[in-house]
Amino acid sequence: MEELRTFEASEKFKAEALVRDRSMYEAAAADRLAFWAEQASGLDWVEPWSEVLDWSDAPFARWFVDGKLNVSANCLDRHVANGLGDRVAYYFEGEPGDKRTITYAELFAEVQQAANALKDLGVKKGDRIAIYMPMIPELPVAMLACARIGAAHSVVFGGFSAASLSDRIIDAEAQVLITADGGYRRGAPSMLKGIVDDALQSTPTITDVLVVQRIGDAAEPVNMQEGRDHWWHDVVPGFSASCPPEVMDAEDLLYLLYTSGTTGKPKGIMHTTGGYLTQAAFTHKYVFDLHPETDIYWCAADIGWVTGHSYIVYGPLANGCTSLIYEGTPDTPTEERRTGDRAAWAKDRFWEIIANYGVTKLYTAPTAIRTFMKWGTQWPQGQDLSSLKVLGSVGEPINPEAWVWYHTYIGGGRCPIVDTWWQTETGAMMIAPLPAVTTLKPGSASGTLPGISAELVDDAGQPVGVPGGGYLTITEPWPSMLRGIWGDPQRYKDTYWSRFPGRYFAGDGAKFDADGDIWLLGRVDDVMNISGHRLSTTEIESALVDHPAVAEAAVVGRDDATTGQAISAFVILRGGVTASPELQAELRNHVATLISPIAKPADLAMVPELPKTRSGKIMRRLLRDMAEGRSIGDTTTLADPSIVPIIEEALNG
């Protein structure tokens, strides 16, 4: 493949783009708060703010102080009032091939019915609602219904286990759970309600469960507990499609989203109303160069992650854009292509969807792109992808090879790629190009967006020069920043604001190249990134030692060509327990059951010892070297260097 060093949008793309020069960067640099105020004024406010930012209680920010608005009203009511009720909000493509088209007017009506149903269940402003659903349209409906009545949602990714679901429900003290009987994945129903029933055995706060019927009688019977469980279709359509939006303060909680940190306990990241919506809408509009009248936009993430929250639900709807929601995986068959052998399935479902709907903007993750590379170019080449205009990437660093492949075979050599760096905590994109302005380099996320200021610092917190490498920090508060960790303000300060005083520490390493462009280098803490999913080493270690056969465990993320990182586990068995392939499989499955199949270790070695420093700290770096088949570097800090060959033997044997 020809080496591609830089890329600029075509003259035609530039001529039609929303932002064609650097004046927006200049305006934001000249007066950051005025810039954000201007972006916020694009929303509908019930009452204006008195102050753009109150940072007097740092690191606890208040944006658009005293401003009042409702997020669902901004996503629905104002578009319908502006005559856009017939515009499609979502095209839904189910995995089995079923399709739905939902206009803004229809979404508006269903959200209000669902909001009235929640009210009838006793939900009030300030309550928390847990949501555990597959990728079906009722998921955004449920989120918007919460936002409409001022209840905060806590969406739990549908791939999480019963234990993970109940932990999150308990921490948030959620009162109602919205779920579904199941969803379709990999050509078959994947049932959720049984997992819900298990989870709810330990959640005293849940009084009611609304259950969407997605699968129906096709699979196993669904248990509905009298008085607690209600079918969505029995309840919601009976309510009035009129529910006035609750007037919310700009700083009222919009949602919690749990994410992995460096300890075993997931953090409930708090996002509020005015600042969050401002930055989600702003970034979605300009980074994708959105033309809502003509664009068909598709973010292929799951709504259970922050990417789906900000770029399937809130950003796109605030911008009145038409989005696509796809339920399944990229290689799942439509009815006519289904065979028993997954390897034989057609692997062009994504490209077929793009061709059928005329998708113009696609947002996906490097791990998906690397999988498509592995499957081969024949799949995209068999479909008409000429509608595509901008391609997005998120979730992990995109390696230059994957960037070039994405650009060549999906983007037809024509589409700018926007590599967007951000986090659950940042709420919206922070570092990303503007497609008609930035000179793109494969593998670099380019620079901070207007209104965002980042610096790389060394161990001592001193800014590094250009070129240079260091820890990524954000130096000024931003509108969609997390407002804290649910129930744990001290952990918020400790995790993000204490390592480098006065700076937000993202946990990522990065470098500046000679032009000052930023290249993200991955996490520098004990957080792993598996296929773009965040998992903590400690969380998985806790799951392993939860098993009666395990005395001690260490987990590292090793490099993997497809998933970015893969989980390597090392366990010491308890006395009297014998190592066996069956036990190895059982331990890996134990993690899948306790956390999620995405957390299942790719490999697991049963070792007699773990490498520890004299102070008893496990040397993960050394384990990573071993897992990646590298020769071991310096072992002088080890308490007992003689264990290295023993572990290596266990690993290879």
Contact 273, 71 (CB under 8 A): yes
Strand 152-155 and strand 176-180: the pairing is: unpaired
Tell me: does residue 364 bind ligand WTA (CB under 6 A): no
Contacts 24+ apart (CB under 8 A), 372-377: 372/330, 372/347, 372/405, 372/409, 372/410, 373/401, 373/402, 373/405, 374/562, 375/331, 375/347, 376/347, 377/409
Q: Which is nearer to ligand WTA, 262 or 408 (CB)?
A: 262
Helix, strand, or coil here: 213?
coil
Residue 421 interacts with ligand WTA (CB under 6 A): yes or no? yes
Least Å from the CB of residue 518 to ligand WTA = 9
What's the min distance (Å) between Cβ of 299 and ligand WTA? 11
Q: Does position 505 bind ligand WTA by CB under 6 A?
A: no
Determine the interface stretch with ligand WTA among 69-77, 320-328, 422-430, 496-504 (rule: CB under 6 A): 422-430
Complex with ligand WTA: residue 148 or 441, whichever CB lies closer: 441
When asked if residue 261 is in the footprint of ligand WTA (CB under 6 A), the reply is no
- CA pair distance 426, 275, nearest whole angstrom: 11
Other CB atoms within a 10 A radius of the CB of residue 635 amount to 14
Per CB under 6 A, the segment of 185-193, 391-399, 453-461, 590-598 that binds ligand WTA is 391-399
Q: Is 531 in the site for ligand WTA (CB under 6 A)?
A: no
Print the SS3 string covering 19-36: CCCCHHHHHHHHCHHHHH
Measured torsion, CA atoms of residues 556, 560, 562, 563, in degrees rounded to the nearest 10: 10
Q: Which CB atom, from 164 or from 259, has the smaller least distance to ligand WTA? A: 259
Q: Applying CB under 6 A, which part among 123-131, 228-236, 486-494, 503-511 lies near ligand WTA?
A: 503-511
Among 112, 154, 203, 420, binds ligand WTA (CB under 6 A): 420
Q: Is the dihedral of CA 421, 426, 429, 431 positive or negative?
A: negative
Contact 432/426 with Cβ under 8 angstroms?
no
H or E element that contains 364: strand 361-364
Q: Is 537 in the site for ligand WTA (CB under 6 A)?
A: no
Answer yes or no whether residue 396 interacts with ligand WTA by CB under 6 A.
Answer: yes
Tell the smallest beta-carbon distance from residue 85 to ligand WTA (Å).
32
Q: How many other C-beta atoms lie within 10 A of the C-beta of residue 153?
A: 25
- Map tokens 């019963």 to a residue: 162
3-state secondary structure 296-322: EEEECCCCCCHHHHHHHHHHHHHCCCE
One character per residue 443-482, x = contact with ligand WTA (rule: CB under 6 A): --x-------------------------------------
Among 179, 360, 364, 424, binds ligand WTA (CB under 6 A): 424
Q: Does residue 406 interact with ligand WTA by CB under 6 A?
A: no
394 touching ligand WTA, by CB under 6 A: yes
With respect to ligand WTA, which residue has the nearer C-beta, 161 or 423? 423
CB of 525 to ligand WTA, least distance (A): 9
C-alpha to C-alpha distance for 603 and 570, rounded to whole angstroms? 9
Stretch that binds ligand WTA, among 128-136, 380-388, 519-527, 596-604 (CB under 6 A): 519-527
Q: How far is the CB of 202 from ligand WTA (least distance, A)?
A: 26
Rg, Å, the chain Cα set: 24
Q: Does 534 bind ligand WTA (CB under 6 A)?
A: yes
Q: Map residues 279-308 to x or -, x wherever contact with ligand WTA holds by CB under 6 A.
A: --------------------------xxx-
Nearer to ligand WTA, 39 or 423 (CB): 423
Place of tokens 């306990």: 265
Residue 638 burial by Cβ neighbours in a 10 Å radius (0-12, 13-18, 19+): middle
Residue 359, φ and ψ in degrees, nearest 5: -60, 135
Among 295, 419, 526, 541, binds ligand WTA (CB under 6 A): 419
Binding site for ligand WTA (CB under 6 A): 259, 305-307, 394-397, 419-424, 445, 506-508, 520, 522-523, 529, 534
